[in-house]
């Protein structure tokens, strides 16, 4: 099924008695809406990339964090979690929350994609995907440069590193057989930068301490 695009989801989707919503970033561990069921699986034809800038939850103006979006790639696969919302209360609650969080800012569009669950079932899911023309879109960069941004960014929801490490943890604990080269590269570079900064901070502390002893 080719992806289908929606505008404001409250205009056309609130009539549904049941919907599935695909999480591939922070929704994996923090959907912040009531749901009836969840399944682990993947969507095909897309890859997860840290190309969307964030100046609220994982960064600030002038020092944006990097969060995940889906980028079209013919042979690509992105693993995550599909959440089922059932009944008017759950459907409206989820759509209102996600519409405010993702769509109203103008940073994301809503697509319908086919989700391939681990149990063999196929579902039609909604996915929020960053629009390349949005003002916070950072776009392609090397894994090393992406890691630099992530290693030094933080916002209202906490450090950008926590966001990255939570996705890595999900993949390693629940999908150890799946290789996500981009995610693993960004993760390793980020850890390297953190360790380098820690060592530099330690060296500066030692120099300062030595200077105080000799004054």
What are 54-68's pLDDT values in tens digits?
998 999 999 999 999
The answer on pLDDT for 48 being more than 50 is yes
The kind and range of the H/E element at 149 are: helix 143-151
118 neighbors 41 (Cβ within 8 angstroms): yes
Q: What is the mean pLDDT of the chain?
A: 88
The answer on pLDDT for 76 being more than 60 is yes
Among 31-40, 82-91, 100-109, which stretch is predicted with the lowest mean pLDDT? 100-109
Question: Of 170, 168, 136, nearest to 66 (Cα)?
Answer: 136
Range of the domain at 47: 4-213
The answer on pLDDT for 190 being more than 90 is yes
**Mean pLDDT, residues 83-104 taken together:** 85
**Please, which pLDDT band fits residue 210 given cuts at 50, 70 and 90?**
very low
Instruction: For 181-191, give one letter per residue: b (16+ CB within 10 A) or e.
Output: eebeebbebbb
**CA distance linking residue 67 with residue 158, whole number of Å:** 13
The answer on pLDDT for 213 being more than 50 is no
**What pLDDT does residue 44 have?**
98
Among 11-25, 58-72, 120-134, 161-175, which stretch is predicted with the lowest mean pLDDT? 11-25
Q: Which residue has the higher pLDDT, 149 or 17?
A: 149
The answer on pLDDT for 41 being more than 50 is yes
**Mean pLDDT, residues 142-168 taken together:** 97
Number of independent structural domains in the chain: 1
Question: Of 47, 66, 45, nearest to 55 (Cα)?
Answer: 66
**CA distance linking residue 91 with residue 84, whole number of Å:** 9
**Mean pLDDT, residues 169-197 taken together:** 96
Identify the CATH number of the domain in which residue 76 sits. 3.10.490.10
33: number of Cβ within 10 Å: 19
The answer on pLDDT for 2 being more than 90 is no
**Please, which pLDDT band fits residue 215 given cuts at 50, 70 and 90?**
low
Share of the chain above pLDDT 90, in %: 73
**What pLDDT does residue 206 have?**
46
- Give me the catalytic one of 11, 73, 102, 144: 102
- Does the annotation count 102 as an active-site position? yes
């Amino acid at each position: 099924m080719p992806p289908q695009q929606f505008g404001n989801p409250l205009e056309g989707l609130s009539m549904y008695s049941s919907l599935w919503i695909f999480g591939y970033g922070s929704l994996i561990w923090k959907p912040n809406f009531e749901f009836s069921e969840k399944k682990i699986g993947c969507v095909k034809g897309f890859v997860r990339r840290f190309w969307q800038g964030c100046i609220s939850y994982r960064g600030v103006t002038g020092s944006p964090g990097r969060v995940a979006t889906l980028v079209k790639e013919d042979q690509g696969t992105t693993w995550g979690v599909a959440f089922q919302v059932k009944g008017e209360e759950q459907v409206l609650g989820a759509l209102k929350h996600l519409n405010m969080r993702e769509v109203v800012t103008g940073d994301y569009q809503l697509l319908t994609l086919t989700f391939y669950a681990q149990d063999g079932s196929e579902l039609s899911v909604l996915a929020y995907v960053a629009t390349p023309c949005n003002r916070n879109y950072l776009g392609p960069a090397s894994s090393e440069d992406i890691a630099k941004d992530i290693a030094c960014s933080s916002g209202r929801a906490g450090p950008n590193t926590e966001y990255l490490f939570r996705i890595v943890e999900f993949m390693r604990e629940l999908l150890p057989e799946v290789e996500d080269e981009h995610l693993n590269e960004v993760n390793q570079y980020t850890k390297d930068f953190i360790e380098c900064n820690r060592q530099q901070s330690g060296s500066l502390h030692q120099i300062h301490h030595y200077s105080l002893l000799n004054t």
